[in-house]
């Protein structure tokens, strides 16, 4: 997939600007606070229907304006697509090829991206939440079934948790089995999908990490918990776990077992990356995960996503920078940095210079 054109109107610090991207490497340069990440964020928004950094879309609207517009033209293996998002104070309108869409779900996935920024270090260093978020986002982009299962699971889980806080304990004991039955069905789908995804991701991430470190480090990923490889058997197993945990859950007031507690175990040379990795190691591991995600995407969707690398180069040492550039040669990449000369080493690219929300010609 290739994004050809991106148009921003009253988006963040952009008043009106059009970017023309090429296949391969596109480099956005500029000093701090000029609009590089904002441009990358706009691409991400069109791919995922969600913003990178914030909860409220209204922050995307240029100060003092009523509406922000982001539009893009891309060529995918299904042909040309035009996406547009109009973001207002309290609502948004999404368009696909000029037609207004009733549901956001029809917007997401028409363009795909993998995003990497220094913040992705959280993936390695923070608690399980970040890693579940990574799994959910990655798997959802290529599987609507997973997306649906996740939403239903969350809804039933919320209801079960509310029930656990009820005072009438005998009523709760009576009702719980019904919820558990339903919960286990969606839980099994999530558990199975995540494990399959990780089984595919793990060797690719190990490979990317070995490549970036010249074979010096061995990255390994695994999911906590042993499960059978059959959805119904997993559901039965989870149902057992839920009933075994019932009394404890009643005391705790929340559900203590299930995929909402899942975690990916990440090790470098056998040591837990979360506790032991250096900053550079953790950064490289996170990058390897993202490169692996890009590969899987290619396998599942039949074409590569756009890889967005925001401010990544300055954080890597010289050999790793060169290797990264070499690795992403064959896909469209949008890379931001402050000094192109220091990171590109003459690599062929479409260089776009940004100053105060405008392209410098």
Ligand X SMILES: Nc1ncnc2c1ncn2[C@@H]1O[C@H](COP(=O)(O)OP(=O)(O)OP(=O)(O)O)[C@@H](O)[C@H]1O
Shortest distance in whole angstroms from residue 279 CB to ligand X: 18
Residue 59 within binding range of ligand X, rule CB under 6 A = yes
Among 262, 280, 263, 265, which residue's Cα sits nearest to residue 219? 265
Residue 194 within binding range of ligand X, rule CB under 6 A = no
Q: What is the dihedral of CA 142, 145, 151, 155, to 10 degrees?
A: -160
Interface with ligand X in residues 228-247 (CB under 6 A): none
Among 13, 29, 37, 281, binds Mg ion (CB under 5 A): 37
Q: Which is nearer to Mg ion, 17 or 295 (CB)?
A: 17
Segment near ligand X (CB under 6 A); pick from 25-33, 106-114, 244-252, 272-280: 25-33
String of DSSP letters for 320-359:
HHHHHHHHTTTS-EEEEES-HHHHHTT---EEEEEETTEE
Interface with ligand X in residues 309-338 (CB under 6 A): 311, 338
Among 314, 239, 248, which residue's Cα sits nearest to residue 279? 314
Q: Which is nearer to ligand X, 164 or 334 (CB)?
A: 334
Q: In what order do the strands lie in the sheet with 113-116?
A: 113-116, 306-310, 333-337, 25-29, 350-355, 358-360
Counting residues that bind ligand X (by CB under 6 A) gives: 16
Shortest distance in whole angstroms from residue 45 CB to Mg ion: 15
Shortest distance in whole angstroms from residue 144 CB to Mg ion: 32
CA–CA distances in Å: residue 8 to residues 35, 87, 137: 11, 12, 25
Q: Which two tokens stand for residue 34?
A: 């000029």
Among 82, 105, 85, which residue's Cα sits nearest to residue 94? 85
Interface with ligand X in residues 61-90 (CB under 6 A): 61-63
Among 3, 13, 73, 335, binds ligand X (CB under 6 A): 13
Q: Which does 131 bind (CB under 5 to 8 A by kind): Mg ion, ligand X, none?
A: none
Q: Which does 13 bind (CB under 5 to 8 A by kind): Mg ion, ligand X, none?
A: ligand X
Residue 12 within binding range of ligand X, rule CB under 6 A = yes
Residue 30 within binding range of ligand X, rule CB under 6 A = yes
Shortest distance in whole angstroms from residue 71 CB to Mg ion: 22
- Lay out the site mask for ligand X across 253-292 (x = CB under 6 A, - = otherwise): ----------------------------------------
* Burial state string for 348-358 with b = 16 or more CB within 10 A and e = fewer than 16: ebbebbbeebb
Q: Are 151 and 103 in contact (CB under 8 A)?
A: no
Q: Which is nearer to ligand X, 51 or 76 (CB)?
A: 51
Residue 32 within binding range of ligand X, rule CB under 6 A = yes
Q: Which is nearer to ligand X, 52 or 163 (CB)?
A: 52
Shortest distance in whole angstroms from residue 310 CB to Mg ion: 6
Residue 38 within binding range of ligand X, rule CB under 6 A = yes
String of DSSP letters for 156-224:
HHHHHHHHHT-S-HHHHHHHHHHHHHHHHHHHHHHHHHHHHHHHHHHHHHHHHHHHHTTT---EEEEES
């Amino acid at each position: 997939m290739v994004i050809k054109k991106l148009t921003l109107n009253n988006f963040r610090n952009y008043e009106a600007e059009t970017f023309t991207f090429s296949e391969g490497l596109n480099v956005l340069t500029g000093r701090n606070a000029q609009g590089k990440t904002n441009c990358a964020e706009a691409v991400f928004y069109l791919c995922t229907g969600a913003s990178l950094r914030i909860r409220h879309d209204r922050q995307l609207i240029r100060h003092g304006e009523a509406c922000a517009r982001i539009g893009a033209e891309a060529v995918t293996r299904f042909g040309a697509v035009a996406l547009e998002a109009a973001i207002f104070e309290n609502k948004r309108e999404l368009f696909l090829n000029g037609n207004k869409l009733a549901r956001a779900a029809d917007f997401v996935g028409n363009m795909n991206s993998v995003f990497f920024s220094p913040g992705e270090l959280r993936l390695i260093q923070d608690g399980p939440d970040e890693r579940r978020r990574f799994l959910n986002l990655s798997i959802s982009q290529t599987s609507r079934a997973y997306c649906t299962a996740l939403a239903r699971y969350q809804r039933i889980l919320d209801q079960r948790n509310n029930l656990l806080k009820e005072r009438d304990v005998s009523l709760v004991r009576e009702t719980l089995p019904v919820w558990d039955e339903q919960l286990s069905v969606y839980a099994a789908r999530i558990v199975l999908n995540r494990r399959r995804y990780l089984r595919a991701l793990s060797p690719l991430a190990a490979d990317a990490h070995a490549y970036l470190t010249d074979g010096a480090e061995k990255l390994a990923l695994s999911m906590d918990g042993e499960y059978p490889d059959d959805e119904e058997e997993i559901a039965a197993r989870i149902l057992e776990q839920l009933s075994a945990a019932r009394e404890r859950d009643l005391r705790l007031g929340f559900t203590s077992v299930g995929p909402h507690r899942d975690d990916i175990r990440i090790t470098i040379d056998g040591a837990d990356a979360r506790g032991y990795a250096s900053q550079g190691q953790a950064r490289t591991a996170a990058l390897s995960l993202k490169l692996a995600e890009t590969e899987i995407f290619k396998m599942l969707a039949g074409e590569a996503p756009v890889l967005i690398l925001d401010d990544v180069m300055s954080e890597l040492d010289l050999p790793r920078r060169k290797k990264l550039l070499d690795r992403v040669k064959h896909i469209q990449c949008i890379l931001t940095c402050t000094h192109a000369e220091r990171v590109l080493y003459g690599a062929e690219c479409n260089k776009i210079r940004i100053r105060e929300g405008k392209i410098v010609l």
